[in-house]
Amino acid sequence: MRGLQIPLNQTQKVRLQRALEKLESLSSKANSNASVTVADSIPVNYEDGILKGHGTSEFNGEITATICGIVERVNKLVYVRTLRARYKPEVGDIIVGRVIEVAPKRWRLDINSSQDAVLMLSSMNLPDGIQRRRTAVDELNMRSIFEENDVVCAEIRGLQHDGLQLQARSQKYGKLERGQLLTISPYLVKKRKQHFHHLDQYGIDLIIGRNGFIWVGEHIEARDDMVEEQVHKSEQHTTKFDITSASLEEQERTYTSLETRQNICRIANAVRVLSTLGFIISVEKILDTVSLSSSLNLGIHEMLGSEFYVLVAEKEAVQRSLTKEKR
């Protein structure tokens, strides 16, 4: 509770304290053998030729931890993984970033890490959908694809000496529009098989980036660029009346309905609540939090009230205790 910046009355403080203590006791029992603090001794078998990794040091013939975290073992390597740290990129991670610079043949993105990432023009699909060599004309038209402050989804391709290399060679990657970008602590996002989620009941696309950037936006169907190019060429021969009607259709197609905007805000507030409480972010927990707010007939703004934080923490404590009893 020390780090929570939530205005609570005395009753809510007691309830939240009990829920967090229960959660802490359950997690500490599960990770009692793996979690260490500074100067804790790490039990190892010296006959196996142990290699000391990050967060470890040898003192008086024993391997001790120099940071707080979880002990990890990879073959002979022993290291300590910190729980709260800046995002450390890994090849294959799905990330969400914001364009901060359009440079020659590349875009530079902020991905909430210690260094920026680079998306090369040759590492993404062109709007026409044709696989071909990039020309000088493509380089001149880079701002028509991405420009500063655009939100982009991509995948980490490699870690080069000149920075992180990204790639966006799939229809699921690219520019994100008509939604909200949320920033949370990266340690709350664990690597999973699926980071793209289509919440069909809400008409929402949810992208949980490994770097702590989460996108909540309106669902957009995958488009065939070749078909759109043919339609665009045929529409060039229309009259002024047809152009006016086409522009109205374009506005209707890009308009986000009130219900969808409300769903975006409700799901975004659920992420904010879970992040503030320090819970691991997953699509299941987000949907449970949204369902709880709907069952209580809470308004979107009421989800950020003190009482709802307490209710979410109490529900999580009950669920974890029931899960442990089943085991």
| Separation of alpha carbons 212 and 185, rounded Å | 5
Q: Looking at residues 165-172, what average pLDDT do you find? A: 88
Higher-scoring residue by pLDDT: 181, 240: 181
Q: What is the pLDDT of residues 291-316, one digit of tens each?
A: 999 999 999 999 999 999 999 999 99
Long-range Cβ pairs for the range 10-15 (8 Å, 24+): 12/306, 12/307, 12/310, 15/310, 15/314
| Separation of alpha carbons 22 and 314, rounded Å | 9
Q: What is the pLDDT of residues 37-74, one digit of tens each?
A: 888 888 887 767 788 888 898 888 888 999 888 888 88
| Inter-residue contact 56 to 91 (CB < 8 Å) | no
DSSP bridge pairs for 101? 108
Task: Please determine, for residue 226, whether its predicted confidence score (pLDDT) is greater than 50.
Answer: no
Q: Looking at residues 122-144, what average pLDDT do you find? A: 82
Q: What is the pLDDT of residues 102-118, one digit of tens each?
A: 999 999 999 998 889 99
Task: Please determine, for residue 236, whether its predicted confidence score (pLDDT) is greater than 70.
Answer: no
Query: Quick one: CATH architecture of 31-83?
Result: Beta Barrel (2.40)
Name the pLDDT band for 87 (thresholds 50, 70, 90): confident
Q: Which residues lie closer than 8 Å to 15 by C-beta, 6 or more apart? A: 310, 314
Name the pLDDT band for 253 (thresholds 50, 70, 90): low
**What is the three-class DSSP state of 83?**
coil
Task: Please determine, for residue 240, whether its predicted confidence score (pLDDT) is greater than 70.
Answer: no
What pLDDT, on the 0 to 100 scale, is given for residue 107? 94
Task: Please determine, for residue 195, whether its predicted confidence score (pLDDT) is greater than 90.
Answer: yes
CB-based burial, 266-301: b 16+ in 10 Å, e otherwise: bbbbbbbbbbbbbbebbbebbbbbbebbeeeebebe
Task: Please determine, for residue 276, whether its predicted confidence score (pLDDT) is greater than 60.
Answer: yes
Token pair in block for residue 149: 């402050």
Task: Please determine, for residue 248, whether its predicted confidence score (pLDDT) is greater than 60.
Answer: no
Name the pLDDT band for 260 (thresholds 50, 70, 90): very high
What pLDDT, on the 0 to 100 scale, is given for residue 246? 47
Quote the DSSP letter at residue 44: -
| Separation of alpha carbons 102 and 87, rounded Å | 23
DSSP bridge pairs for 96? 153
Highest mean pLDDT among 67-76, 129-138, 201-210: 201-210
Mean of all residue pLDDT scores within the chain: 84
DSSP bridge pairs for 202? none
Q: Which residues lie closer than 8 Å to 307 by C-beta, 6 or more apart? A: 12
| Inter-residue contact 289 to 270 (CB < 8 Å) | yes
Any idea which of 184-198, 199-213, 228-242, 286-300 has the lowest mean pLDDT?
228-242
Higher-scoring residue by pLDDT: 283, 244: 283
Task: Please determine, for residue 227, whether its predicted confidence score (pLDDT) is greater than 70.
Answer: no
